[in-house]
Amino acid sequence: MVGKGCFSGGQRYVDVCSRLGFCAPVSLVTAVAMQHDIGMSHSDLTILVIDENAIRASIIEEGLREAGHGRVTVIHEVQGVARIIETLRPDVIVIDIENPNRDMMEHLFQLTRTVSRPIAMFVDRSDTALIEAAMEAGVSAYVVDGLKKERVKSILDMAVSRFNAFSRLQRELAEAKSALEERKVVERAKGILMKMRGLSEEDAFALLRQTAMNEKKKMSEIAQSVVTAAGLLM
Amino acid sequence: MLSAENQTGSKGAPSVSKGEGPKVLRAGFIPLVDASVLIAAAEFGFAAKEGLTLDLVKDVSWANVRDRLAFRQFDIAHMLSPMPVASMLGLGSNPSPTIAPFSLGKGGNAITLSVQLFERMREVGELSETATALENAKALAKVVQTMKAGGEALPTFGMTYPFSSHNYEFRYWLAAGGIDPDRDVKLVVVPPPLTSDALAAGGIDGFCVGAPWNMVASERGLGRIVAAKQDIWPSAPEKVIGMRPDWAQSHPEIVSRLLVALDAAARWCDEADNHDALAELLADARYIAAPVEIIRHVLAGEFSLDAKGNRRVIADYFTFHRGFANYPRPGHALWIYSQMIRWGQLEFSEAGMRAAATAYRPDLYRAALGAGPAESDIGIEGDRDGFRFMDGHVFDPSDIKAYVANFPVGSAQASGLDD
């Protein structure tokens, strides 16, 4: 599947590279040359997902596979990414923007850029709504030069919606967790009031609620101060 | 918490006139001591005094800062001084027009090498404890030559971003010692807060980064500081405030008030009496999340070179305000441009030179603050004592090509150490 033109393109790149003293991902550019020379069908796009969050990464991966992309690779850390890019030759790289190693990717692309501008962030800057939605969702993408907008848009749309769904899930989980914590502390405060003031469970609860209303605070906050105070006094 | 009223006298906070949108500015920053002016402006009342609220957003990478500014999630951002220049030249994976009307001051960077590498430099290079930055670089060249001769793996060094003062300063220092940064060593990017861990893990053999991370590594006994930014070129710009030119154009009054607020904050940051309060604030988890003691030493320029107690005090290690440190000099943008050419990031062109110079906007600075330095915006650099480059070269912006060609080491020169 390697065409002749591709090889010479790659070779030229290597020559220029060694002249410049650069030696980074040579075959990334070869991958570009390949596409230009022989073309590829839509589902043939090679996608690299870099996400330190393994759960989110697998959600993205699943989404891509469902959309018919068979060549998806997921990595959780950027250690050794240069070599992975070299062997994998991805057309699209999806990376979470909370990843501090984005600057390292930037360096990598800068090394290849001197020759043929092979990597751009996102596919088409004219689609600012999509790009803003992506940044908002926390996802960024690098796309090999020459890929048509419509071939990448669906991948980005999918990544954005899955990132958003994941954030929603995380938020809900955090809320559920804190609700559980709040209930626990109210239970403990109730127990302390029952024991120290000889109240019934209903009265202890009513006292907490009334105090919270009087002080314009959440019941869990009042309960926490009861627990803290009891810890100090006993 | 202190307020600006206590520092500069009480005055009512005038409101921004209608038509320029909300007075809340979202500002991105990376946790570094050189974000001090921005953080102080937000926290000590200087922005409020100008009727502005700075909503500071801590970010994890320069690429994010650049993209969030480009895609309007940030109004302004703490940026590396070469970033607006690169943007104006169309360099990087997402170049979007960016201007800098204000510099956040000078200083703060240093180069740290692993104690093992430094030990070899001392053996081979007969270094004294008080060796200069240039002597250190030459000693490293000898070690690298030995490594090459012995077929050892070449050292890997970390910097922060392809368009960073750290990249150009590290390269400048290496090259001044006779080392070709592209052939004799390997340069990689390491996020600043991870530098000392990467050094500890042996992933890198040294790095160039801003404060406080050099001192964090030396205090941990992992590294030896071999050069400070001042040693390489004392005038070198460090961080700037970046913004989109269209935004600046449609918000002239907000820009003006912002610069007044930043100027007042910078003046405050320069006062040694305020450093305890500043260190306390910066150490907070919302900002740098590093030990307050280290930040205090960094602000005072008191360097622990290593964990053995070798110390060095660098006067003006940070200059936040004095000597028009905040004035964005287009001549400095041109020096950055010259280094981009020197290291093969692009080729010289008249159009490129003009584009690079437009990244820095002294006109906005003067419009807001009504003053500026007496020297011309684009002038000779490094020709006076106290402001020289470590290798003695003089930068003449009127002949950038000759300046670049004059360096013995550069991407166009067949240079470096013999194998």
- 234-263 in B: which are within 8 Å (CB) of A? none
Say if the Cβ atoms of B71 and A114 lie within 8 Å. Answer: no
- Option in B68, B94, B411 nearest A121 (CB): B94
Residues A156 and A196 reside in one and the same domain: no
Model confidence over A130-151: pLDDT tens digits? 888 888 888 888 888 777 777 7
In whole angstroms, what is the distance from residue B58 CA to residue B74 CA?
Answer: 11
Task: Note whether residue A2 is domain-resident.
Answer: no
Task: Note whether residue A88 is domain-resident.
Answer: yes
Residues A185 and A140 reside in one and the same domain: no
Check if the beta carbon of residue B411 is closer than 8 Å to that of residue B338.
no
Better-predicted residue by pLDDT, A28 or B1: B1
* Predicted confidence (pLDDT) at residue A182 exceeds the cutoff of 80: yes
Q: What's residue A204's pLDDT?
A: 95
Q: What's residue A18's pLDDT?
A: 33
In whole angstroms, what is the distance from residue A192 CA to residue A119 CA?
Answer: 63
| Average confidence (pLDDT) over A180-193 | 93
Residues A83 and A67 reside in one and the same domain: yes
Residues B177 and B216 reside in one and the same domain: yes
Give the CATH number, domain containing residue B281: 3.40.190.10
Q: What's residue B407's pLDDT?
A: 96
Closest CA to B241 of B30, B78, B72: B78
Say if the Cβ atoms of B189 and A104 lie within 8 Å. Answer: yes
Q: What's residue A78's pLDDT?
A: 73
Residues B341 and B284 reside in one and the same domain: yes
Q: Which residue has the tokens 């093992």?
A: B116
A-chain CB neighbours of B72 within 8 Å are 132
Across A106-142, b (16+ Cβ under 10 Å) vs e yields: bbbbbbbbbbbebbbbbbbeeeeebbebbbebbbbbb
Among A142, A171, A200, the domain-final residue is A171
Model confidence over B10-64: pLDDT tens digits? 344 445 555 676 699 999 999 999 999 999 999 999 999 999 999 999 999 999 9
Give, in order, the Cα–Cα distances in Å from A135 to each of A96, A121, A128, A218.
Answer: 9, 11, 10, 35
Name the minimum distance, in Å, from the CA of B155 to any CA of chain A. 15
Residues A191 and A101 reside in one and the same domain: no
**Confidence class of residue A110 from pLDDT cuts 50, 70 and 90?**
confident
Among A144, A171, A198, the domain-final residue is A171
How many other C-beta atoms can be found within 10 angstroms of the C-beta atom of residue B59?
22
Q: What's residue A73's pLDDT?
A: 93
Chain A residues with a Cβ under 8 Å from any Cβ in chain B = 20-22, 97-107, 109-110, 113-114, 119-122, 128, 131-132, 135-136, 140, 142
Task: Note whether residue B419 is domain-resident.
Answer: no
Task: Note whether residue A72 is domain-resident.
Answer: yes
Q: Which amino acid, one-letter code, is at A186?
A: V
Say if the Cβ atoms of B73 and A142 lie within 8 Å. Answer: no
For B309: left if phi > 0, alpha if psi spans -120 to 50, otherwise beta; the answer is left
Task: Note whether residue B225 is domain-resident.
Answer: yes
Q: Which amino acid, one-letter code, is at A135?
A: M
Number of domains in chain A: 2
Looking at the complex, does the CB of residue B7 fall below 8 Å from at least one CB of chain A? no
Q: What's residue A150's pLDDT?
A: 77
- Option in A101, A119, A132 nearest B191 (CB): A101
Residues A184 and A128 reside in one and the same domain: no
* Predicted confidence (pLDDT) at residue A5 exceeds the cutoff of 60: no
SS3 labels along B240-292: EEEECHHHHHHCHHHHHHHHHHHHHHHHHHHCHHHHHHHHHHHHCCCCCCCCH
Residues A132 and A225 reside in one and the same domain: no
In whole angstroms, what is the distance from residue A158 CA to residue A67 CA?
Answer: 9
* Predicted confidence (pLDDT) at residue A33 exceeds the cutoff of 50: no
Model confidence over B367-397: pLDDT tens digits? 999 999 999 999 999 999 999 999 999 999 9
Among A148, A171, A194, the domain-final residue is A171
Residues B263 and B275 reside in one and the same domain: yes
Say if the Cβ atoms of A100 and B93 lie within 8 Å. Answer: no
Residues B97 and B118 reside in one and the same domain: no
Compute the Cα dihedral for A153, A159, A160, A165 and give only its sign.
positive
Check if the beta carbon of residue B205 is closer than 8 Å to that of residue B120.
no
Range of the domain at A184: 175-233
Residue A37 corresponds to which tokens in the numbers above? 């020379």
Give the CATH number, domain containing residue A192: 1.10.10.10
Residue B279 corresponds to which tokens in the numbers above? 């260190």
For A80: left if phi > 0, alpha if psi spans -120 to 50, otherwise beta; the answer is left
Residues A158 and A184 reside in one and the same domain: no
Closest CA to B220 of B300, B115, B111: B115
Residues B13 and B24 reside in one and the same domain: yes
Looking at the complex, does the CB of residue B62 fall below 8 Å from at least one CB of chain A? yes
ipTM associated with this complex = 0.85
Q: Which residues pair with B106 in a beta bridge?
A: B237, B319
Residues B226 and B128 reside in one and the same domain: yes
- Option in B180, B191, B411 nearest A100 (CB): B191
Q: Which residue has the tokens 């999630």?
A: B73
Task: Please give the radius of gyration of chain A, using alpha carbons only, rounded to the nearest integer.
Answer: 27
The contacts of residue B18 (CB under 8 Å, 6+ apart) are none
Check if the beta carbon of residue B69 is closer than 8 Å to that of residue B242.
yes
Residues A117 and A221 reside in one and the same domain: no
Q: What's residue A108's pLDDT?
A: 82
Residues A114 and A151 reside in one and the same domain: yes
* Predicted confidence (pLDDT) at residue A67 exceeds the cutoff of 90: no
| Average confidence (pLDDT) over A164-190 | 90
Task: Note whether residue A210 is domain-resident.
Answer: yes
In whole angstroms, what is the distance from residue B356 CA to residue B344 CA?
Answer: 16
Task: Note whether residue A71 is domain-resident.
Answer: yes
In whole angstroms, what is the distance from residue B399 CA to residue A12 CA?
Answer: 32
Check if the beta carbon of residue B209 is closer than 8 Å to that of residue B80.
no
Q: What's residue B312's pLDDT?
A: 86
The H or E element spanning position A225 is helix A219-233
Angle at B208 between CA B204 and CA B212, to 5 degrees: 105
In whole angstroms, what is the distance from residue B67 CA to residue A97 CA?
Answer: 10
Mean pLDDT of chain A: 76
Name the residue of chain A whose CA is nearest to B182's CA: A21
Name the residue of chain B whose CA is nearest to A120's CA: B93
The contacts of residue B351 (CB under 8 Å, 6+ apart) are none
In whole angstroms, what is the distance from residue A102 CA to residue A78 CA?
Answer: 9
Give the CATH number, domain containing residue A66: 3.40.190
Residues B127 and B212 reside in one and the same domain: yes
Pairing between strand B156-159 and B99-103? unpaired
Q: Whole-prediction pTM value?
A: 0.82
Looking at the complex, does the CB of residue B51 fall below 8 Å from at least one CB of chain A? no
Q: What's residue B186's pLDDT?
A: 94
* Predicted confidence (pLDDT) at residue A24 exceeds the cutoff of 90: no
Name the residue of chain B whose CA is nearest to A96's CA: B64
A-chain CB neighbours of B210 within 8 Å are none
Task: Note whether residue B311 is domain-resident.
Answer: yes
- End-to-end alpha-carbon separation of chain A, Å? 78
Q: Which amino acid, one-letter code, is at B240?
A: V
Residues B81 and B196 reside in one and the same domain: no
Q: pLDDT below 70 — which residues of chain B?
A: 1-19, 21-22, 414-416, 418-419
Range of the domain at B365: 4-106+237-290+319-369
- Option in A100, A106, A107 nearest B194 (CB): A100
DSSP tag of B22: -
Q: Is the peptide bond before B212 cis (omega within 30 degrees of 0)?
A: yes
* Predicted confidence (pLDDT) at residue A126 exceeds the cutoff of 80: no
How many CB pairs lie under 8 A apart between chains A and B? 85
Number of domains in chain B: 2
The H or E element spanning position B338 is helix B330-342
Q: What's residue A4's pLDDT?
A: 32
* Predicted confidence (pLDDT) at residue A8 exceeds the cutoff of 90: no
* Predicted confidence (pLDDT) at residue A56 exceeds the cutoff of 70: yes
Task: Note whether residue A19 is domain-resident.
Answer: no
